[in-house]
Amino acid sequence: MKRLVVFLITGMVLLSAGCASNAPRPALRTRAIAVLQAGFSSEEFWPSMHAAEALTAAGLSDVVIRGLKPRLAVETDDQRRCGLSREIMRAGDLGPLAGMAKILKNPKTNAPVHVCESLFKVHQVGDLAAMRQHAASENKSEALMAAGALARAGEKGELVRIRALLMPPHSLQTRRISAWLLGQLGDKSDWRALREFAESATGSDEPLAAPFAWYALAKLGEPAAQKIVIANLSNDNKTIRTYAAQTLGVYGAPKHLPLLAEMLEDETADTRIRAAEAIVRITNRAR
């Protein structure tokens, strides 16, 4: 199956690159897709899902669906089923949605956060009543991911709740997840609260708190935060630089491509994948 996936992707890389012939640095885009091909075929589960997301962005959704559906058919772990289902749905096949709803309604699942987060990422609710139950969970990570999915479905009160959970005295982890959601659901009215959180969390015992707040600000267009994203591309912490690369893909420009090209040689697979994804997204916009 892995060899088939590699063959399918290789056969379509040139097509994708050809579609981007008017984009800056088409050779770099082809190189990025090759990185994603390797990531998609790797044994590292979550990086392979991130590679699938990026391949869909590169126009290779058919390859993603053909590669992941056989894996979903035999996977028994709910967390992994959420990842596989999410990327199949992101690629345009909503067939796994019913299975996601089943996980959402299962009180014994090992994936209460994963299922809510995955449905949020593909703009789905699965089952409205069940998602509302997750939003009422005492587990703040679970409740926030469910609130994000509901907010995307039009429940404005959930966005108010997400903003409230950004504020003290909530834990840094809770505030970090709130910041991550606001980077996708918020607007300029959130700049002040996010900046205050970023500044107060700097140097805390939660190393991802401040970066996540800055990255949310960067996605919402805050210039100072966007400079911090650039600086964090070379951060010693692999998670911080990986999310910096992913964030740059949201708003970056062709002038940022050389920085991302260097990251294609990073020692961490997920960092390479997120840098490749950013290159794909930037060159998509430059067409």
Task: Please check the confidence at residue 17 and state whether its pLDDT lies above 60.
Answer: no
Predicted structure pTM score: 0.91
Higher pLDDT, 15 or 26: 26
Residue 172 corresponds to which amino acid? Answer: L
Q: Are 182 and 197 in contact (CB under 8 A)?
A: no
pLDDT tens digits, one per residue of 107-132: 999 999 999 999 999 999 999 999 99
pLDDT at 149: 98
pLDDT tens digits, one per residue of 260-280: 999 999 999 999 999 999 999
Reported confidence tier of residue 15, pLDDT bands at 50, 70, 90: very low
Mean pLDDT over each residue of the chain, to the nearest integer:
93
Task: Please check the confidence at residue 5 and state whether its pLDDT lies above 80.
Answer: no
Alpha helices in the chain (DSSP H): 2-19, 26-40, 45-57, 61-74, 78-90, 97-104, 112-121, 128-135, 140-152, 156-164, 172-185, 191-201, 209-219, 223-232, 238-251, 257-263, 269-285
Q: What is the largest CA-CA distance in the chain?
A: 53
d(CA 156, CA 7): 45
Task: Please check the confidence at residue 14 and state whether its pLDDT lies above 90.
Answer: no
Mean pLDDT along residues 166-193: 98
Q: Are 221 and 182 in contact (CB under 8 A)?
A: no
